Structure 1
Amino acid sequence: MIHRVLLSYLTLTVLVLLTLEIPFGILYARSRTSALTTTLERDAVVLAELAEEDIEHADTRALPHLLNGTIRRDHTQAVVVDRHGTVLTTAPTAPSPPARSLSGAPDIIAALHNHRTSGTTRDPLTGGEARYVTVPAASGPTVRGAVRITAPTRGTTARIHTAWALLAGAGLAVLAVMTAIGLTLARWTTRPVRKLERATAQLADGTLTEPPAADVGPRELRRLAATFNRTATRLQHLLRAQHRFAADASHQLKTPLTALRLRLENLEPDINADARHHLDQAIAETDRLVRMIHGLLALARLEEDHTAPTPVDADAVVHDRVETWSAFATDLDVTLRLTGAPTGHVQAIPGALEQILDNLLANALRATPPGSTVTLHRAPARAPHHRTAPPAQLHIIDQGPGMTTTERERAFDRFWRAPNTSPGGTGLGLTIARQLAQASGGSIELHAHPTGGLDAVIQLHPTSRPHGNRAG
């Protein structure tokens, strides 16, 4: 932000400098050129008046002395012609003899028609650019000849270049000063914003240790800091209240629910056989309520927890969960199969991968009919050391009825359960699994498998582990 504020200051300064210096430089250049033209024109008029009589009588003896006495500028050349355009004399003498007649020159023609002209031409003495002025030598309407004075422009051009250099130097000096001033102002202006940014990052991490000062900086930023502090205080209070509620609810609800289940079980001897299924359903619903409360508390704790992902041996976890769930799969007459190459180490928060696999395997085993197979397929990342490498994947593929596109989109919603699912679920398993995956920097997606059933894909980022063993 400092750079953007400083850039705005410098941009405005450059625009002001260009608006002031460019017109001034152009005006100065025009004034110097105009001054040179005016001087030449004045000298030419004076010379024409003094030489008019000599021109009329074609007296070439006095003209060189008159020209040399009148022209005082260095490298200035004068040419005098009669009314026919014939050169009478030049001063000083040119390195090469001048043409005998200038009757075809446009400026001489204009002067012989009683018109003054000026412009630029090639300097016959130095070969550079020169400024000339041509005036008629006339008395009223009668033109007796013409006088042309030519002077090099290198002195004027040097002064113009010097002026542009001074303007550029002054502009750079102003920019340097404005850079120092603008940087100081930008830092002063954005200091509250930077403090507010740090405070926002701390609040996002869960604890605000350095609240921004509400008495520093512009008035608008002071008001913003004060509002932020009130909001942060309120949010921290709510977070602490939620944390206390999660801790208290876990303890306070466990005892009455356990007592309720025991009372229901104690009623079993006093219940008729015809009504016993109602008692079994009540006990099942109590167990479901316990699982739902535990799931909600787990979500609350997960949303508050800011544990950083660490390297986890995915193969060891996968083998452990497959071994654990194999007995349950055998009871359901379902084959639990592990395929794919070893995955290696992935980034996950401690215990997350175990809970994710437990939730997904439980769902897959419940959905798969007897005599079929649930496959846990490993797809390791192709380039685990490359930052842009695709994540490692774990696929839990069942052979159940599958889900429609709409059902797969809603499957991660809290308390949502697919139609015709087996009773006892809470609708929180996939929600918890996705939260754990996202907290680990990964994701979970549900896809329809080409051979039928559902393909639950866990994606976690790989990590390099130069030492240690991997399960194969």
Structure 2
Amino acid sequence: MTRRIALSVLALVVALLVLAVVPLGISMTDRESDSFREQTAATARTVAAAAEEHLSDNHPDTEAAEQLAATAARGDCAQVYDAHGALVLTTPCRAALPPAAVSQVLATGQQLSVQGGGRLTLALPVGDTLPPSGALVYSRSTEDLTDRLVTIWTWLGLCGFGALAAAVLVAVRLARWVGRPLADLDSAAARLGEGDLAARAAVPQGPPEVRRLAATFNAMATRTENLVHGHRAVIADVSHQLRTPLTALRLRLDLLSAEAQDDTAQELAGAQHEVARLSRLVDGLLAVARAENSVPRPGPVRVDEVVADRIDAWQPVAEERGVRLTARGATDLTAQLAAGDLEQVLDNLLANALEAVPDGGRVELVTGREPQVREVLLSVVDDGPGMDEAARAGAFRRFDTGRPSGTGLGLAIVHRLVTANGGQVALEPTPGGGLTARIRLPAGPAATRSPRRERRSARPEPADGRRTPPPA
């Protein structure tokens, strides 16, 4: 925006300068040219008057000779012709004019003017009678006129460039005065959109409208921060407070189910199942609150190492369920995201995939890169029942699940973590049947291979609180 404002102001100033300087230069050029012609004609008439006394009144040619000598001293040329076209007097230099021009002046009594070759040449009659008593050819160099015109255009050009330089300074300062507060406001809005609820726009300078806009934005950001923090606090507090009574309820049901028989045992088993489902929901709400309350601090993460870690951690679960869990794709991949977020994303996606895929199915992690846009690609591909288009459209919303055993929070947490780190996640149908979760993450700088982390052997637990069966 700063550049557009500066260029717009400069274009306006250039247009004004062109409209003002060029017509002024043309007007001054015409005035100087007319003045030069008038001066030349006046000098020529003075010489013609002296020649008339010699040609018409038969006076000696002394005065006419003196005028021609003065003409020659000025660097001009002049020739005096009598009524028959014979040359009477001349300066050492001769004016370049065809003889027919002298005959025309003697016949018509009209003045002729020819300019070219760096000289202005006039042919005018001597005397006021018709036919005239003679003709005078007067030639003057236009070098002085050219020098004056060059001086005029040089000064006009310098003034124009000076005005343009001043306009550049004014345009740049004006553009910065208007554009810098807007850039600060845009930066604050971007930080707020990325999850930094403490982002505020500091606009101490700039147009009053921009300062009012910044104040309105700050008020909106403050209210949004209060609302979000209040919402997160309520979810976290409620979820935390529910865990204790749920644990106590589960223990009581376990004690009762140990002594119950037949129908009572079945009812207690159903109650235990619902309590377990409610516990998973509470754990998922806590995970959502933690994910939304954190502001990621991106750093380089080795994607291939994290994938290998999660494959090793989930392999016992996959084998217990009869599912083939593999990984393939590019190696030496580094993404830019917060530490621990990629593990949490993969745990949720693998938990969903392993739960959806039937016995004998497969789940595959595929890695790749797109150098043109500096992105790392990561896909979790399964051959399960998949989702229809409507289910995929709402899969990232909270509590939107198509399975009675799920909480509908796992994919919501995945979406939050990926987008908070500047990435994208989408669900697509797998060719031949199934579901593919495709993730795009910003590529990070190349990193050296680090040792396998101890969490590779850790028991996986998705962020939504669903615990997987223990390894067989």
- Range class of TM-score, shorter chain: 0.7 to 0.9
The structure-2 alpha-carbon separation of the partners of 1:264 and 1:80, relative to structure 1 and needing over 3 Å to count, comes to farther
- Matched residues, percent identical? 34
Equivalent pair of 1:112/1:146 in contact (CA under 8 Å): no
In structure 1, the partner of 2:91 is: 92
Partner of 2:464: none
Q: Which residue pairs with 2:31 in the alignment?
A: 31
Shift of 1:424: 0.5
For 1:212, the equivalent position in structure 2 comes to 202
Q: Secondary structure at the match of 1:464?
A: coil
Structure 1 residue 222, shift from structure 2 partner: 3.8
Confirm or deny: 8 A CA contact 2:50 2:64 kept in the other structure: no
Post-superposition offset of 1:339: 4.0
Q: Write the mapping of 1:19-418 to structure 2, written as runs, cut at 5 A.
A: 19-52=19-52, 54-55=54-55, 65=65, 67-68=67-68, 71=71, 74-83=74-83, 86-89=85-88, 91-94=90-93, 102-103=99-100, 105=101, 109=104, 112-122=107-117, 129-180=118-169, 192-193=181-182, 196=185, 200=189, 203=192, 206=196, 208=198, 212=202, 217-262=206-251, 268=257, 273-274=262-263, 277=266, 279-340=268-329, 342-370=331-359, 372-381=360-369, 388-393=373-378, 395-418=379-402
Distance apart, 1:405 and its partner CA = 4.2
Is the CA contact 1:77–1:90 (under 8 Å) kept in the aligned structure 2? no
Distance in structure 2 (CA, Å) of the matches to 1:159 and 1:277? 114
Is residue 118–residue 134 contact of structure 1 (8 Å, CA) maintained in 2? yes
Q: Which amino acid aligns with 2:30?
A: R
8 Å CA contact retained: 2:125, 2:135: yes
The structure showing larger relative contact order (alpha-carbon pairs under 8 Å, at least 6 residues apart) is 2
Note the alpha carbon deviations across 1:131-180, whole angstroms, 9 max, x for none.
12222234344334322211111111101111221222233334444555
Shift of 1:94: 2.2
Q: Distance in 2 between matches of 1:171 and 1:411?
A: 65
Give the alignment's TM-score, normalised by structure 2. Answer: 0.79
Determine the C-alpha separation between the residues in 2 that align with 1:451 and 1:201: 40
Given candidates 429, 440, 443, the residue that maps to 2:410 is 429
Counterpart secondary structure, 2:99: coil
User: Comparing 432-441 with 193-202, which one deviates more in the overlay?
Assistant: 193-202
- Retained in 1: the 8 A contact 2:298–2:421? yes
For residue 291 of structure 1, give the secondary structure of its aligned residue in structure 2. Answer: helix
Q: Using the TM superposition, name which of 217-226 and 359-368 deviates more.
A: 217-226
Deviation of 1:187 (Å): 5.3
CA 1:23–1:439: 2 relative to 1, 3 Å: same
Letter of the 1:328 counterpart: V
| Structure 1 partner of 2:467 | none
Deviation of the 1:356 alpha carbon: 1.9
Superposed displacement of residue 353, structure 1 = 2.2
- Are the counterparts in 2 of residues 64 and 89 from structure 1 also a CA contact under 8 Å? no
CA distance in 2, matches of 1:378, 1:248: 39
Q: CA deviation at 1:102?
A: 0.6
Aligned partner of 2:431 in structure 1 is: 450
